[in-house]
Amino acid sequence: MSSVGTPDPNSGWLSDEELAETRRRLPILYVEAVPVRVDGEGVVTQVGILLRANSVGSITRTIVSGRVMYGESLRNALFRHLEKDLGAMAFPLLPASPVPFSVAEYFPFPGSQYSDDRQHAVSLAYVVPVTGTCDPRQDALELTWMTPQEAGSDAVSAEMEGGRGGLVRAALASVGRLY
């Protein structure tokens, strides 16, 4: 005997098959966040970079990232992904304005500035101060706090997936901390 659950009337989620089909036909909207620590004057002193195993088992560095669900506000999506990747005690200070520091377009084609083999995606990217304790969850292995100089370095950029090193540099430039 099988039980029938009540479907969520506004789940916003797609099955794996529906997502794969959608990715073949439409760009997908994402939010990305560069978590930072700031001093009392609001100057960025540290940048949080995630260490993660990707789908082929390689260890790479990345930032907080995830899809925006149908009917979900940008603020809610940003908060959900920050909590998912950094833990419930990260206490992110979401920006007062939903205007991102950058819009990144990911393509599944070689030679793109930002790349994602799975899809064409458009990402709204934010710098988000966090004030609490970060305890990476989900598929993140660890969060490394770096100085702005380290986070913007060629060495760290080379370890980042999909061109996100350039996005981190753009984040640092947007807050006056690119060296």
Q: Which domain holds residue 97?
A: 21-174
12 inside domain: no
Number of H helices, E strands in the chain: 5, 8
Residue 60 lies in a domain: yes
3-57: per-residue pLDDT in tens?
Answer: 344 444 445 677 888 877 887 888 899 999 999 999 999 999 999 999 998 778 8
Instruction: Find where tokens 């990715």 sit.
Output: 23
Contact 166, 157 (CB under 8 A): yes
15 assigned to some structural domain:
no
What CATH number does residue 91 fall under? 3.90.79.10
Would residue 142 count as lying in a domain?
yes
Structural domain count of the chain: 1
Give the least confident one: 50-54, 136-140, 152-156: 136-140
